Amino acid sequence: MATKFDAIMARRGEIMRKALGMDYGEFELSPIAFDYERMMTAHGYSLDDIVGIQTRAGVGNTPLLELRNLTDLVRSISAPGKGARIFVKDEAANLAGAFKDRRASVSIHVAKEKGYEGIIAATSGNYGAAVASQAARNGLKCIICQETFDSRHVGQPEIVEKGRICESYGAEVVQMTVGPELFFHMVELLDVTGYFAASLYSSFGVSGIETLGLEIANEMRALTGADPTHVIVTHAGGGNTTGTARGLKRAGATGTQIVSASVDLSGLHMASDNDFNRKSFTTGHTGFGVPFATWPDRADVPRNAARPLRYMDRYMTVTQGEVFYITEAMAKLEGLERGPAGNTAMTAAVSLAQDLPCEATIVVQETEYTGAGKHHWSQLNFAKQMGVEVRAGDPKGNAPGKVIVIPESIEQIRANDFDVARMRKSYVRNALKNAPEGYAPTADDIAFLAVDTNTDTAAIEAMLTELKGD
C-alpha cells in the first residue's frame, strides 16, 4: 500500500522545481550526463554580483591569518628544510560563525528577489544557523528541519545548541529522530507552505562559496606575492570543496592543489539509530564525505551542484582525537578557540606541512565558531556518556564509535591518504547503476564522467571495462 512518504517522495522533483524556481530538466543531456556549467550559471549572478550580495548581507571578507606559532612548532619536528607556512581563513568572523553564511546569503537573496514568503532548510548544524540569520536580516519566515535525536530522544550537544541558535534568530525548528524522515518532512513542508528551498546542494548555495576561494587567492597574493601551493578544505557533503575550488580557479589560481580532509568515521552508519550519537562529529567526516563524493545526486535536488571529485586532488583523513588535540593547540598557540569540525582541515594541514618544503604555503580555508554544545569538551563528555572510551595515547588506537585517543604530542598527528581512485570508480559504478537497465554510455557520457571525476576518457573507458567484468 502506498504511504504518505511514497506519495510525497514521488512528487519530489515537481515540488523542488517549484521551491527553487528551477527546472533541472533543462540541463539533462542523457541518463548519465548533464550540463553542469550551464546549471551553475543559470541563476544569472556573476561572481561580482555575489560579492555585492554578500557584502550587503554582512558576509565575507573574513581575516586571513598566518599561524606563525603553529608553523614554528611543525618545523621543530620536521626534517631540515621542511615545514610549510600555515594560514587560516577565519570564517568564524561571519555573522552566524561559519563559511555557510556565504551559502545562505545567496539562497536568501534569491528567495527574496523571487518573492517567496519564507525559506526552509534541512540541516543538523551550522547551515541552519546561517539560513536563520540571513532570513532574519531579510524579513523572511524560516523553518529549519533538524535531525536531532536518536530513538531514546537523546541529542548531541552540538545539534541541540544549533537548534537553540536557529530559534534565537526567529526560525521555527522542526526536530526529528535519525532516519529518512528529515528530507521527507522538508519536502512535505515545502509543498504545504510554498516556501523557497534553501538547499545545501543548489547552484545558489554552492556559488556563494566561490567568493571564499576568490578571497583566498587575492589575499595570499597580497601577503606572499603568490597563490597558495595548497588549500585544505574540511569535506562533508562536497559543497565546501566544490565552491572553494571553483573560486580559486576563477581567480586564476589554477596551480593550487585542492586537498579535502575528513574525520575517519569508517564503520559508523550515519542513518543508524545506534551509531548516530557515537560519532561525536556532526559533519566533516567520512560518513558524508565518501558517499556524497561517490554519488552526489543522492541529495534533495535532482542534480547536485556540489561535485567534489571534479576538483579534489587529494583526500586526507584524520582521527577524532587528533582534531581535538589541534583544537586545543589552536587556542593555546594562536589564541583561536574554534569549533572542532572546522579544525578537521587544520589537523590535516599540520600533518601535510611536515612533508612540504618551508617555502610552500598551506591555507586552511575555514574555521567555525565554538561555545557551549559545540565546544570540544562538551563533545568529549558526551562521547563518554555514550560509552565511548576517551584516553591519551597513540591515535592509531582510535576506533570510531568505541575509542577516542587524544595524541600525547604533535609528532603523533599523521593524516592518512584516502584512495581517490577507488572513489572515482565507485562514482562511475553508481552512475551506471542509476541509469536505465541495459543503458550503454555514449561518447558524450564518457566525456562527462571524465570531467566529473577529474580524470580523462581513457581512464573512464578502463573503469567501464573493469566494471563490466565485476
What is the C-alpha to C-alpha distance for residues 18 and 190, in angstroms, rounded to an integer? 9
Contacts of 205 (CB under 8 A, 6+ apart): 103, 104, 106, 107, 198, 199, 239, 305
For the stretch 60-100, pLDDT in tens is 999 999 999 999 999 999 999 999 999 999 999 999 999 99
Strand ranges across the sheet with 257-263: 64-66, 85-89, 361-364, 230-234, 257-263, 314-318, 416-417
For the stretch 98-107, pLDDT in tens is 999 999 999 9
Q: Which residue has 562521547 as its cell numbers? A: 383
* CB contact at 8 A, 280 and 382: yes
pLDDT at 20 (0 to 100): 93
pLDDT at 274 (0 to 100): 85
Cα 122 to chain centroid distance, Å, stands at: 14
- Look up residue 153 and give its amino acid: H
Instruction: Give the start-end residues of each E strand in 123-253.
Output: 141-149, 172-177, 196-197, 230-234
For the stretch 421-437, pLDDT in tens is 999 999 999 999 999 99
pLDDT at 282 (0 to 100): 78
Question: Cα torsion for 167, 170, 176, 179, to the nearest 10°?
Answer: -110
Q: Which residue ranges in the chain fall short of pLDDT 70?
A: 1-2, 470
State the pTM of this model: 0.95
Record the cell numbers describing residue 182, joined without a space.
Answer: 528529515
pLDDT at 1 (0 to 100): 47
pLDDT at 2 (0 to 100): 56
